[in-house]
């Protein structure tokens, strides 16, 4: 009897130790996931430099979510280059030009906007603020610009449309392997009044994002528009979600999306002039030059570095939208002088949202409006069309850079 009690006690002790080890490991690996809290701030924000928003917003975003938002692929060399590339060219100050209060209004695909900057589609704004994409959409609408909504948004397409209250919105489609789901999503976007479909083609597979791997980041919230998962994406990594989407893309996919809708189809994620050509032949109504904010192929050039070549090939056949690294007026100016019609911002919108809700998003756009206007004034350009005729001064490209 005594022996049995001792054996039982040892078994119980071993079981207890194993249980404790499992609990400890779960806790260590998942601390971020369970501690997810989004900001509910609702205020204008004071901005001196948009770059500073990242640090300020960090206080209100959980660690894993912050890594997902801030991060790029691998060692983030392309992410860093997206910022520094703008320094490769200069803007000549121009004087005695008679310029007064430059007009920053423009239009894209028939839609008038108050500045040549729109919201880039980005997954899961709900990581940053309780109002999620609905908050960003209200901020964009109040700012007089276009809201782009990702398939991986954390608000439903209907919630975003309602928050925009008639303001122009574009829907960004990640193709599903399920044709019926694709058709339903595009039809829903059309029915809700979205004005264009953005087909993102640079993510057939997720980039190798070291921060997400280190943080073991999994979405702590639902992404209600993701078709195959029925929106139930809690506990899934971005790579799992990408893997469920269509991951072999060809020009026929552009033709396929064109066949689904009468809306303009914008092909997003173009970095090579040949790919711009292919997309246009396949029916693209606009080209979106982007390296996904440095989140996909690390070792790729900065998006700004390839913009001029892509614009030359496009040769004004269709409009060009540009993103990846836009943070101030001079970046917007340089991108337009280099061939973009409008630019888009991803992370700054999310940081503005975290820091002030929809009012914070408005603060980001207000800052860019003032900053762009100042740059235009100092560079002697009265309106956006005039920027398109500006010759930038090339520091490096004019002496023909050799391969590294
Ligand atoms: C957190 C985050 C999520 C993103 N999700 C998507 C997405 O769902 N679809 C897409 O086409 N691009 C996505 N992007 C890329 C953006 O559309 C855009 O290309 C990029 O953010 C631009 O760079 P910027 O953040 O330096 O402005 C995402 C970017 C970020 C930062």
Q: 125 an active-site residue? A: no
Residue nearest to atom 4 of ligand 1 (CA): 122
The set of protein residues with a Cβ atom below 6 angstroms from ligand 1 is 68-69, 82, 120-123, 150, 152, 172, 200, 268, 290, 292-293, 295, 323-326, 345-347
Question: Is residue 126 pLDDT above 90, yes or no?
Answer: yes
d(Cα 132, Cα 349) in Å, to the nearest integer?
11
d(Cα 330, Cα 333) in Å, to the nearest integer?
5
Sequence-ordered alpha helix ranges (H) in 266-318: 273-281, 303-314
Q: How many C-beta neighbours within 10 Å does residue 314 have?
A: 22
Closest atom, ligand 1, to C-alpha of 347: 25
d(Cα 49, Cα 46) in Å, to the nearest integer?
9
Question: Is residue 245 pLDDT above 60, yes or no?
Answer: yes
Mean pLDDT of the chain: 92
Residue in 375, 296, 380 with CA at minimum distance from that of residue 343? 375
Question: For a pocket test of ligand 1, which of 79, 257, 292 has the largest count of ligand atoms closer than 8 A to its C-beta?
Answer: 292
Burial class of residue 17 (count of CB atoms within 10 Å of its CB; 0-12, 13-18, 19+): exposed
What's the pLDDT band for 31 if we cut at 50, 70, 90? very low
CA of 344 to the centre of ligand 1 (A): 10
CATH code of domain 51-399 = 3.20.20.70
Closest atom, ligand 1, to C-alpha of 151: 8
Joined together, the tokens standing for residue 188 give 């829903």
Look at residue 14 and give its three-state secondary structure: helix
Q: Which of 125, 129, 272, 292 is catalytic?
A: 292
Question: Is residue 110 pLDDT above 90, yes or no?
Answer: yes
d(Cα 350, Cα 340) in Å, to the nearest integer?
23
Closest atom, ligand 1, to C-alpha of 324: 23
What's the pLDDT band for 240 if we cut at 50, 70, 90? confident
* pLDDT for res 6: 74
In percent, how much of the chain has pLDDT > 90?
83
CA of 122 to the centre of ligand 1 (A): 4
CA of 90 to the centre of ligand 1 (A): 27
* DSSP annotation of 324: S
Q: How many C-beta neighbours within 10 Å does residue 22 have?
A: 10
CA of 120 to the centre of ligand 1 (A): 6
d(Cα 116, Cα 112) in Å, to the nearest integer?
9
d(Cα 320, Cα 106) in Å, to the nearest integer?
13
Query: Between 253 and 237, whose confidence is greater?
Result: 253
Joined together, the tokens standing for residue 125 give 């704004």
Question: Is residue 403 pLDDT above 80, yes or no?
Answer: no
What is the average per-residue pLDDT within 352-372? Answer: 98
- Residue carrying structure tokens 């971020």: 32
Per-domain boundaries in the chain: 51-399
Whole-structure pTM value:
0.91
Burial call 172-184: b when 16+ CB within 10 Å, e when fewer: bbbbbeeeebbee
* pLDDT for res 241: 87
> Are 170 and 194 spatial neighbours (Cβ–Cβ below 8 Å)?
yes
CA of 160 to the centre of ligand 1 (A): 17
Q: How many C-beta neighbours within 10 Å does residue 99 have?
A: 17
C-alpha Rg value of the chain to the nearest Å = 23
CA of 282 to the centre of ligand 1 (A): 24
* pLDDT for res 229: 59
Question: For a pocket test of ligand 1, which of 51, 61, 123 has the largest count of ligand atoms closer than 8 A to its C-beta?
Answer: 123
Residue nearest to atom 28 of ligand 1 (CA): 122
What's the pLDDT band for 1 if we cut at 50, 70, 90? low
* pLDDT for res 98: 98
Joined together, the tokens standing for residue 398 give 């004019």
> Residues 6 or more apart from 223 whose CB is under 8 A from it?
123, 124, 151, 152, 153, 154, 229, 231, 233, 241
Question: Is residue 369 pLDDT above 60, yes or no?
Answer: yes
d(Cα 3, Cα 76) in Å, to the nearest integer?
61
Residues 197-238 have pLDDT tens digits of 999 999 999 999 999 999 999 999 999 998 765 667 888 888
* pLDDT for res 243: 85
Residues 152-166 have pLDDT tens digits of 999 999 999 999 999
* pLDDT for res 9: 74
d(Cα 220, Cα 176) in Å, to the nearest integer?
22
* pLDDT for res 19: 59
Residue nearest to atom 3 of ligand 1 (CA): 122
Question: Is residue 286 pLDDT above 90, yes or no?
Answer: yes
Residue nearest to atom 13 of ligand 1 (CA): 122
Question: Is residue 25 pLDDT above 50, yes or no?
Answer: no
Pairing of strands 265-270, 111-113: unpaired
């Amino acid at each position: 009897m005594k022996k049995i009690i001792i054996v039982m006690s040892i078994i119980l002790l071993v079981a207890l130790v194993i249980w404790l080890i499992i609990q400890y490991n779960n806790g260590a690996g998942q601390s971020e996931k369970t501690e997810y809290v989004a900001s509910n701030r609702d205020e204008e924000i004071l901005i001196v430099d948009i770059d500073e928003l990242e640090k300020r917003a960090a206080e209100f975003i959980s660690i894993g979510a912050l890594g997902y938002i801030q991060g790029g692929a691998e060692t983030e060399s392309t992410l860093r280059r997206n910022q520094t590339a703008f320094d490769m060219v200069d803007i000549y100050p121009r004087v005695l030009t008679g310029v007064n209060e430059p007009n920053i209004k423009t239009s894209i695909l028939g839609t008038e906007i108050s500045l040549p900057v729109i919201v880039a589609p980005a997954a899961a704004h709900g990581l940053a603020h309780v109002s999620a994409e609905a908050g960003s959409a209200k901020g964009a609408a109040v700012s007089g610009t276009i809201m782009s909504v990702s398939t991986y948004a954390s608000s439903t397409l209907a919630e975003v449309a309602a928050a925009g209250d008639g303001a122009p919105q574009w829907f960004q489609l990640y193709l599903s392997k399920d044709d019926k789901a694709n058709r339903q999503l595009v039809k829903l976007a059309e029915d809700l009044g979205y004005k264009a479909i953005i087909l993102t083609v640079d993510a057939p597979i997720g980039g190798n994002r070291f921060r997400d791997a280190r943080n073991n980041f999994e979405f702590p919230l639902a992404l209600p528009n993701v078709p195959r998962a029925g929106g139930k994406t809690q506990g899934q990594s971005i790579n799992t979600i990408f893997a469920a989407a269509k991951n072999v893309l060809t020009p026929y996919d552009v033709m396929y999306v064109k066949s689904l809708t009468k809306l303009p189809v914008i092909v997003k994620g173009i970095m090579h002039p040949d790919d711009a050509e292919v997309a246009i032949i396949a029916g693209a109504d606009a080209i979106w030059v982007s390296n996904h904010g440095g989140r996909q192929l690390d070792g790729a050039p900065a998006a700004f570095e390839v913009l001029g070549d892509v614009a030359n090939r496009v040769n004004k056949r269709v409009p060009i939208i540009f993103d990846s690294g836009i943070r101030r007026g001079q970046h917007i100016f340089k991108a337009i002088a280099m061939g973009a019609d409008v630019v888009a911002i991803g992370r700054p919108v999310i940081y503005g949202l975290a820091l002030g809700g929809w009012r914070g998003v408005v603060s980001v756009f207000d800052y860019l409006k003032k900053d762009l206007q100042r740059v235009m004034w100092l560079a002697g350009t009265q309106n956006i069309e005039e920027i398109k005729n500006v010759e930038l001064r090339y520091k490096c490209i004019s002496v023909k850079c050799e391969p590294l």
